[in-house]
Structure 1
Amino acid sequence: MESQRSLLVIGLALVSFLLWQQWNIYTAPKPVAPVTQQSQSAGGSSADLQLTTADAEQPATAVAAAARTIRISTDVLQLSIDSRGGDIVDLQLPEFELNKGAGDAYPLMRRLPGFEYVAQSGLIGRDGPDDSRNPRPVYSSAQNSYTLAEGATELVVPLLFNHNGLQIEKRFTFTAGQYDVRVEYFIQNQSGEVKTVQPYQHLVQTIDNGESSSMMMPIYRGAAFGTTSERYNKYDFDDMQKKNLLEATNGGWVAMLEHYFVSAWVPDQQADNQLYSMVRSGQGVIGSKGPTVNIEPGAETTLSSTFYAGPKNQDNLAKLANGLDLTVDYGFLWFISQPLFWLLTTIQGFVVNWGLAIICITLIVKGAMYPLTKVQYESMAKMRNLKPKIEELQARYKDDRQKMGPAMMELYRKEKVNPMGGCLPMIIQMPIFLALYWVFVESVELRHAPFMLWIDDLSALDPYYVLPVLFGASMFLMQKLTPMQVTDPMQQKIMMWMPVAFSVFFLWFPSGLVLYWFVSNLISLAQMLYIYRGMEKKGLHTKKA
């Protein structure tokens, strides 16, 4: 039946278009609208926040001159903290290379001429040292560098500052093997009056840095946040320029996203926080503010939050905040992708090779879908056997379309054939295969993961294009085995060239994805041969006309 064949072609084309479109999102520069400086505040309350930039002119005072950079190294993090404000202004991930085999640590955050991506935090409010009425505080530190000792489980970096009767210690606590950092303020009120402060933390990133598509630096950039009512929301720079975010929530989180990596602030999850965004001087900001805190004379208090900078590891992110793990963005099919990701990682734990894990999960998924595949091909075979009768009806009622429809339906009823039987199984299977695709695209575990022979990075394209060619060959064989319903010569030519077209598309796909589709085609070929053999025993015609 031509309509069935057309639906199959459309379905495959739709899937491929979605794959192609999504891959372009990650490999092409993201368009950025012209930046206009916004003076409005986030909900009218961000005017008290400061942004300290690399190019900003600092006051020529002894305090400003005393600012310095403090270097910190752990087994998984290398970062720099500016003593002015205690901001994280540079952060690298030594466990992840920017370029495979080059030995260069992945630069997640950095402060460069014309570009900035930093994490800031501080105390605002009437008596806060980071209030816009004051210059940013310059903290003192006992050392210029700190290193997590071998065998140690924790590294504490204390920064000290006195401000109008408040003795403040800003403490960073690092844990071995962990990408989350505990950031705490220990505040003592040594004055004779009540002091009022309000904690904030935000991420600042230059919107348009003029980067090209060389892939030397991350291209995709955007923000996200989570609240108690909506666990995950993207809020990109275009959104920021149109409207400042203002959300009140208990707990919550804010983040800046890249393909495989994320930086995030997780404020006190028991407090009522205000999430905000703003755009100032070409920089996009997303952050959170905690409730105002009153400190009685002689009293002390502790304010804490968590900063995360590292790979999108779902288990670790889920422990930090509700919905933070959804930054591994599987789209609207996340509820299918997450179990598939669990299955993929479980398999990898046994086979210890992500390429073999992809092959195994493809076998499992295709095996589980076999009953639907069988229904699909058997239905198509039944339709093929009806072809002479269908052609007879078409010739009889060629001038009377109104009678042809009921006659065709009567034929289907009499022969007990469902004309949509070959399409419905495909429609049911499509979400599963799309969900599995998202798993391969979004999982940082596949980044720079080797397979075998010439495939040393499953997240990169095949350097010799062997897999795309093999995929095209397997698709061509599937065409040869599939009963041809198309009779129009032009459509037949289009079908003939489809394997070539898809092979060309797949030249730019990650080799892990191409491996998945190639193995899937091989399994489909085996299933088709087995199903057709069984149908021929039942007297059903399976050969092409």
Structure 2
Amino acid sequence: MESQRSLLVIGLALVSFLLWQQWNIDTAPKPVTPVTQNSDSTGSSSADLQLTTADAEQSVATVAAAARTITVSTDVFNLRIDSRGGDIVGLELPAFELNKGEGDAYPLMRKLNGFEYVAQSGLIGRDGPDDSRNPRPVYTAEKSSYALSSGATELVVPLLFNHNGLQIEKRFTFVAGQYDVRVEYFIKNQSTEVKTVQPYQHMVQTIDNGEGSSMMMPIYRGAAFGTSSERYNKYAFDDMQEKNLLEATTGGWVAMLEHYFVSAWVPDAQTDNQLYSLVRNGQGVIGAKGPAVNIEPGAEITLTSTFYAGPKDQDSLAKIANGLDLTVDYGFLWFISQPLFWLLTTIQGFVVNWGVAIICITLIVKGAMYPLTKVQYESMAKMRNLKPKIDELQARYKEDRQKMGPAMMELYRKEKVNPMGGCLPMIIQMPIFLALYWVFVESVELRHAPFMLWINDLSAQDPYYVLPVLFGLSMFLMQKLTPMQVTDPMQQKIMMWMPVAFSVFFLWFPSGLVLYWFVSNLISLAQMLYIYKGMEKKGLHTKKA
């Protein structure tokens, strides 16, 4: 039976391999293959949707002179709207620096040479101005620049356009302190005929953009969506290239994800919408279309949707749409990670330091797991005490394996020892520690968060590699306290070099994660000393015979 350190090392090695493997799957460039456009139940196909300027060069040339960029500034946004289509073509988050200490706002959405990430919305259908049969509408605005005034709670940016008897106002409403934007279409039919339009919203992003995650961090960049029946589904770019998404749902949402940030369109929650994706000209698109709407002569209607662009703040996202908070992706252990995240943020509210909060939650989790840890070490000690008797049985029945098994079980029963007692506690604890790991990986709150001394960003690696070295030393001490029951010389050498290997591996890990593992090791050392002292008083050996 191996010690806790052996099991933990094996578990860490397995998890690390799986994370590295998933990183390769998620970030490896994929060839862009043409896809067949699917038609929807309303008779309006994905081909009717206008994407970017690259998709309609002739139309752009016709109206280029009239188009202009409208800038919008709030306390949380620096945003650029293209008057052609009313598309969001640039969005920065001034509360989040691109690189810590440099002062540059994080550019979530942008149009650069070779890369594009924009949010589009419009009206298609028989009389929609954004139908592919028409050039994109060029809206007019009273000003080219809008800013949220000091002390104001709301900023409204109206864009106007007239199209074949339809008077259209596309209105963006920004609220102070909020990353969700209300996008409305106010449409008045000034003609003598019934007009039919269909709203759509989608995000467009270049697929092979050269932006990858660190090999040590399992960062997902791609799309996701939610329906009334399935709250959260990842839909990676390679999925888009294989098959177009086509999901009918009441409400729902679509999103583009990157490590700490998300952009999302949330259509009217009361209408029957169609979620879709497509790939065109090397760009991945995920969006939603609402039902076609008939507008009687002289009638006015309002079509509303919500656009979100900002940090993965679980509380805010949960209020916007059902399941949108799951874009903070804790994987299959989300039901454990979410309570742990709540506990972490609660602790941080008292200690006002995320590094101290990590130490506190590690103390709490390790303390809660102490009964299992005690069972584990006591079980291993009993197994060590039984080793002479086990060796005797193995020598007696070495020629008769069928009798050896029952004899071993009888020995365990007689001595009241569970041979799995050392493994089961670790199996129970591992999901909790993995869930806590994902909390640290996914929480935007840790991005650029300082700890103390030389650690000024818990989401970045230790600049002087002090924590990885301390982690390796603590791992080495744990091995000394609980020598491995390994007789093979090669295995002994491998285990001896494990602390060094993991110290090197952790050099590139975020310092918050290394802090967590280091503190966890220190607590384990203290627990070992305390448990071993109690077992020695009972006459149980705590070291290898």
Question: TM-score w.r.t. structure 2 length?
Answer: 0.95
- Report deviation, 1:336: 0.1
Superposed CA offset, 1:99-130 (max 9, x none): 11111111100011221100000001111100
- Report deviation, 1:399: 2.4
Deviates more, 1:334-343 or 1:480-489: 480-489
Determine the C-alpha separation between the residues in 1 that align with 2:504 and 2:60: 59
- Report deviation, 1:373: 0.4
Determine the C-alpha separation between the residues in 2 that align with 1:201 and 1:29: 25
The reply to whether residue 305 of structure 1 matches residue 299 of structure 2 is no
Report the counterpart of residue 120 of structure 1 in structure 2. Answer: 120
Report the counterpart of residue 340 of structure 1 in structure 2. Answer: 340
The reply to whether residue 38 of structure 1 matches residue 42 of structure 2 is no
- Report deviation, 1:266: 0.4
The reply to whether residue 472 of structure 1 matches residue 472 of structure 2 is yes
Report the counterpart of residue 515 of structure 2 in structure 1. Answer: 515
Helix, strand or coil at the partner of 2:48? coil
- Report deviation, 1:398: 2.1
Report the counterpart of residue 454 of structure 2 in structure 1. Answer: 454
Determine the C-alpha separation between the residues in 2 that align with 1:212 and 1:524: 36
Letter in 2 for 1:59: S
The reply to whether residue 315 of structure 1 matches residue 315 of structure 2 is yes
Determine the C-alpha separation between the residues in 2 that align with 1:394 and 1:219: 50
Determine the C-alpha separation between the residues in 2 that align with 1:11 and 1:135: 61
Superposed CA offset, 1:493-514 (max 9, x none): 2211111111111111110000
Helix, strand or coil at the partner of 2:46? coil
Report the counterpart of residue 163 of structure 2 in structure 1. Answer: 163
8 Å contact from structure 1 (residues 141, 160) kept in 2: yes
Residues 185-264 of structure 1 mapped to structure 2, 5 A cutoff: 185-211=185-211, 220-264=220-264
Report the counterpart of residue 73 of structure 1 in structure 2. Answer: 73
Determine the C-alpha separation between the residues in 2 that align with 1:300 and 1:89: 29
Determine the C-alpha separation between the residues in 2 that align with 1:24 and 1:78: 37
Determine the C-alpha separation between the residues in 2 that align with 1:331 and 1:370: 26
Report the counterpart of residue 87 of structure 1 in structure 2. Answer: 87
Tell me: CA distance 1:306–1:283, structure 2 relative to 1, closer, same or farther (3 Å). Answer: same
Tell me: CA distance 1:402–1:212, structure 2 relative to 1, closer, same or farther (3 Å). Answer: closer
8 Å contact from structure 2 (residues 26, 221) kept in 1: no
Helix, strand or coil at the partner of 1:386? helix
Question: TM-score w.r.t. structure 1 length?
Answer: 0.95
Decide which of 12, 19, 23 is 1:22's aligned counterpart: 19
8 Å contact from structure 1 (residues 64, 138) kept in 2: no
Determine the C-alpha separation between the residues in 2 that align with 1:10 and 1:481: 15
- Report deviation, 1:27: 9.6
Determine the C-alpha separation between the residues in 1 that align with 2:287 and 2:188: 25
Determine the C-alpha separation between the residues in 1 that align with 2:60 and 2:500: 66
Letter in 1 for 2:38: S
- Report deviation, 1:227: 0.3
Report the counterpart of residue 484 of structure 1 in structure 2. Answer: 484
8 Å contact from structure 2 (residues 262, 310) kept in 1: yes
Determine the C-alpha separation between the residues in 2 that align with 1:160 and 1:139: 5
Tell me: CA distance 1:60–1:504, structure 2 relative to 1, closer, same or farther (3 Å). Answer: closer
Report the counterpart of residue 403 of structure 1 in structure 2. Answer: 403
- Report deviation, 1:61: 6.1
Superposed CA offset, 1:58-93 (max 9, x none): 437664320000000001111100000000001111
Determine the C-alpha separation between the residues in 2 that align with 1:541 and 1:480: 15
- Report deviation, 1:544: 3.0
Report the counterpart of residue 439 of structure 1 in structure 2. Answer: 439
- Report deviation, 1:30: 1.2
8 Å contact from structure 1 (residues 376, 425) kept in 2: yes
Tell me: CA distance 1:55–1:453, structure 2 relative to 1, closer, same or farther (3 Å). Answer: farther
- Report deviation, 1:488: 2.2
8 Å contact from structure 2 (residues 35, 244) kept in 1: no
Count of residue correspondences: 540
Helix, strand or coil at the partner of 2:146? strand
Unaligned runs of 5+ in 1: none
Helix, strand or coil at the partner of 1:302? strand
Helix, strand or coil at the partner of 1:398? coil
Determine the C-alpha separation between the residues in 2 that align with 1:16 and 1:487: 21
Letter in 2 for 1:127: D
Report the counterpart of residue 9 of structure 1 in structure 2. Answer: 6
Deviates more, 1:89-98 or 1:8-17: 8-17
Determine the C-alpha separation between the residues in 2 that align with 1:212 and 1:224: 18
- Report deviation, 1:213: 6.7
8 Å contact from structure 1 (residues 381, 483) kept in 2: no
Report the counterpart of residue 179 of structure 2 in structure 1. Answer: 179
Report the counterpart of residue 412 of structure 2 in structure 1. Answer: 412
Helix, strand or coil at the partner of 1:159? strand
The reply to whether residue 526 of structure 1 matches residue 526 of structure 2 is yes
- Report deviation, 1:47: 2.0
- Report deviation, 1:39: 4.4
- Report deviation, 1:24: 7.5
Letter in 2 for 1:130: D
Tell me: CA distance 1:183–1:96, structure 2 relative to 1, closer, same or farther (3 Å). Answer: same
8 Å contact from structure 1 (residues 42, 278) kept in 2: no
Superposed CA offset, 1:489-544 (max 9, x none): 22222211111111111111110000000000000000011111111111111123
Determine the C-alpha separation between the residues in 1 that align with 2:165 and 2:316: 39
Report the counterpart of residue 359 of structure 2 in structure 1. Answer: 359
Determine the C-alpha separation between the residues in 2 that align with 1:414 and 1:166: 88
% identical aligned pairs = 84
Tell me: CA distance 1:131–1:321, structure 2 relative to 1, closer, same or farther (3 Å). Answer: same
Determine the C-alpha separation between the residues in 1 that align with 2:534 and 2:372: 15
- Report deviation, 1:315: 0.3
Helix, strand or coil at the partner of 2:59? coil
- Report deviation, 1:22: 2.8
Determine the C-alpha separation between the residues in 2 that align with 1:61 and 1:478: 70
- Report deviation, 1:26: 6.2
8 Å contact from structure 2 (residues 90, 118) kept in 1: yes
Letter in 1 for 2:87: D
Tell me: CA distance 1:136–1:471, structure 2 relative to 1, closer, same or farther (3 Å). Answer: same
Superposed CA offset, 1:360-415 (max 9, x none): 00000000000000000000011111111111112222222222211111110110
8 Å contact from structure 1 (residues 54, 116) kept in 2: no
8 Å contact from structure 2 (residues 7, 426) kept in 1: no
- Report deviation, 1:53: 2.9
Determine the C-alpha separation between the residues in 2 that align with 1:504 and 1:212: 22
Determine the C-alpha separation between the residues in 2 that align with 1:25 and 1:299: 53
Report the counterpart of residue 542 of structure 2 in structure 1. Answer: 542
8 Å contact from structure 1 (residues 250, 273) kept in 2: yes
Helix, strand or coil at the partner of 1:47? helix
Determine the C-alpha separation between the residues in 2 that align with 1:417 and 1:104: 62
Unaligned runs of 5+ in 2: none
Tell me: CA distance 1:90–1:238, structure 2 relative to 1, closer, same or farther (3 Å). Answer: same
Determine the C-alpha separation between the residues in 1 that align with 2:391 and 2:68: 84
Determine the C-alpha separation between the residues in 1 that align with 2:35 and 2:503: 47
Superposed CA offset, 1:280-335 (max 9, x none): 11111000000111111111000000000000000000000000000000000000
